[in-house]
Amino acid sequence: MSVAKQEIPASARFARWLLEWAVRHWPEETRPWGLALAAEIDETASAFETVRWSLGGIMLFARSVLSCAWAWMKLPAGGSLPGARGPQGPSLLPKRSRVFTAAILAAAALLLFLPVGREAIRTVRASWQGFRESPSDQRTLEELAARAKKEPGRSWPASARADGW
């Protein structure tokens, strides 16, 4: 007596493997949903249904991971989700969420892209170096002197006037 073994298509095998991988990495809070999803995949009748069921499970997995990530982002910097290992007791860190911290850092980085922000950084750097003239300062002064020579009737700072050189 021989039992015919049914061939499982590669797409269905890959879908099963993908769902098993997702369950292994599923967040603890909603892992029972992932386990139930993986247990039900054997009830699918065709390879198409298996792939479809698996893709639905992957979408649920992505939603669960993003939900946990968002909950983590709302915690204060240095805080952890309930059940996570870490120091117990009151934290000495400020009670600002990670989203707030990320927004402040992004705003500070944006200031570096503005001309005024770059000029402020150059000024601070120059003060640290004793206000020595840098190559960019030299170039700027040369450009101003060239413009002052081209437009003699205009009032220019003394450092840029053609006769000051």
Q: What is the pLDDT of residues 134-143, one digit of tens each?
A: 787 788 888 8
Q: Tell me the pLDDT tens digit for each residue of 71-106.
A: 777 776 666 555 555 555 555 555 667 778 788 889
Residues 69 and 14 grouped into a single domain: yes
Structural domain includes residue 64: yes
Q: Which of 51, 73, 95 is the last residue in one of the domains? A: 73
Q: Which of 56, 73, 90 is the last residue in one of the domains? A: 73
Residues 15 and 69 grouped into a single domain: yes
0.85 surpassed by pTM: no
Structural domain includes residue 33: yes
Which pLDDT score, from 0 to 100, does residue 50 have? 87
Q: Residue 12: is its pLDDT beyond 50?
A: yes
Which pLDDT score, from 0 to 100, does residue 6 have? 65
- Which range is most confident: 88-92, 142-146, 154-158? 142-146
Q: Domain range for residue 128? A: 114-164
Q: Which of 46, 73, 100 is the last residue in one of the domains? A: 73
Structural domain includes residue 56: yes
Which pLDDT score, from 0 to 100, does residue 57 have? 87
Q: Residue 159: is its pLDDT beyond 60?
A: no
Structural domain includes residue 83: no
Structural domain includes residue 24: yes
Q: Domain total for the chain?
A: 2
Q: Residue 118: is its pLDDT beyond 80?
A: yes
Which pLDDT score, from 0 to 100, does residue 92 have? 54
Structural domain includes residue 130: yes
Structural domain includes residue 105: no
Residues 67 and 14 grouped into a single domain: yes
Portion of the chain with pLDDT greater than 70, in percent:
77
Structural domain includes residue 82: no
Three-state SS annotation for 57-111? HHHHHHHHHHHHHHHHHCCECCCCCCCCCCCCCCCCCCCCEHHHHHHHHHHHHHH
Spatial distance between the Cα atoms of 64 and 59, rounded to a whole number of angstroms: 9
Place of tokens 């000029």: 119
Identify the band that residue 1 occupies on the pLDDT scale cut at 50, 70 and 90: very low
Q: Residue 164: is its pLDDT beyond 50?
A: no
